[in-house]
Amino acid sequence: MDRRTFVVLLAAAPVARHAAAQVASPRIGVLVLGNANPASATVISAFQSRLQQLGWTVDRNVRLDVRWGGNALRTAAEDLVRSAPDLIVAQGAEGITPVAQLTHSIPTVFVQVSDPVGAGLVFSIAKPGGNVTGIANLPASIAGDRVRLLKEIAPGIRRLFLVHDRNDQTPTALLQSATDTAAELGMVSFDSGVRDENELDKDIRDFAQATGGALVVFPSLLTVTHAQRIIGLAAQYRLPAVYPLPNFAAAGGLVAYGVNAPVMWQEAAVLADKILRGTPPGRLPVYVPQEAEIVVNLKTASALGLTIPATLRARISRLIE
């Protein structure tokens, strides 16, 4: 029996009982990728603010128990589930996977997961079933769009290094979208699949020995945790790079193309509110964002000798001076 069927058959009843409890001051356990940093603080703040707008004030009628996954994500997930909160919110496929494996009864909301159906987290987008629903990421074609965007900004690039975490099951469709688009634009792509920061340093250094290279960074625990390191290596070796989340550009990356993470966490708060008020998560459709943001760091572009085309400027969501 696959996980989706198992979730639908076994989880519905205990989830209903859990939601029906409606404790006066429920506790929400939040599992965040990486370590505490300004970007993580921003999404937690967005989540908390939206909860307050919906009638849930932290430390008055709701409690937040935030856990940082860091390099011990599985342990953090185990501790969180063991503490038996009334609701769990987990970030990314890396965050939700251990939680979903550990509990089929605690209502759970995921945030920023590319393919929740393919991952076996929900039965369908419209009718998740079981104890899990959440906020999906953009479709896999976004990876190809990032490659096109990077080529538009840096037309001289001929080689792409796909930076992702080999320990994380980066969706094949994302990697394929980037590879296919690179070939379509006459570029050769190299799949890094690094395991840790040491491999990250070595592989990017080796890749940079030849000219015409650029980086395409995929979202994962490793790339989020070591975002500043990747941005620094790109600057050191003068490699144009496109990133998956706006905060990479804010931290000095050339360009980011992806979802607005705080907005996604605000949507997660909407789902959390409905669950806390008694709606089983399996009846709440997965929210799928329809738009992405383009954020460009002009200082980094200038350092690389790049000029942002006028045709692109009209599509940019935010310019960082």
Whether residue 279 is contained in a domain is answered as: yes
Q: How many domains does the chain have?
A: 2
Whether residue 17 is contained in a domain is answered as: yes
What is the structure's pLDDT at 18? 46
DSSP string, 88-111: EEEEHHHHHHHHHHH-SSS-EEEE
pLDDT: which is higher, 210 or 221: 210
**What is the percent of the chain where pLDDT is above 70?**
93
3/288 Cα distance (integer angstroms): 22
Whether residue 315 is contained in a domain is answered as: yes
* Range 116-139 average pLDDT: 93
What is the structure's pLDDT at 150? 98
| Average pLDDT over the chain, rounded to an integer | 90
- pLDDT of residue 123 exceeding 60: yes
CB contact at 8 A, 46 and 82: no
- pLDDT of residue 8 exceeding 90: no
- CATH number of the domain within which 114 lies: 3.40.50.2300
Q: Of 152-161, 167-176, 281-290, which gets the smallest average pLDDT?
A: 167-176
Same domain for 316 and 199, yes or no, is yes
217/294 Cα distance (integer angstroms): 15
Give the orientation angle of helix 172-184 with respect to helix 141-153, to 10 degrees. 40
Same domain for 37 and 112, yes or no, is yes
152/174 Cα distance (integer angstroms): 20
Whether residue 231 is contained in a domain is answered as: yes
Whether residue 264 is contained in a domain is answered as: yes
Same domain for 121 and 248, yes or no, is no
Helix (H), strand (E) counts: the chain? 13, 12
- pLDDT of residue 39 exceeding 80: no
- Nearest CA to 129 among 14, 7, 288, 275? 7
Whether residue 112 is contained in a domain is answered as: yes
Same domain for 164 and 198, yes or no, is yes
What is the structure's pLDDT at 169? 67
Same domain for 264 and 254, yes or no, is no
Amino acid letter, 44: I
Strand partners, 163: 217
Same domain for 151 and 278, yes or no, is no
- pLDDT of residue 70 exceeding 60: yes
Q: Which domain holds residue 310?
A: 141-258+293-320
pLDDT: which is higher, 8 or 303: 303
Same domain for 175 and 243, yes or no, is yes
Taking the CB of residue 188, how many other CB atoms lie within 10 A of it?
12
Amino acid letter, 213: G
* Range 172-201 average pLDDT: 92
Whether residue 288 is contained in a domain is answered as: no
Q: What are phi and psi of 288, to 5 degrees?
A: -115, 115
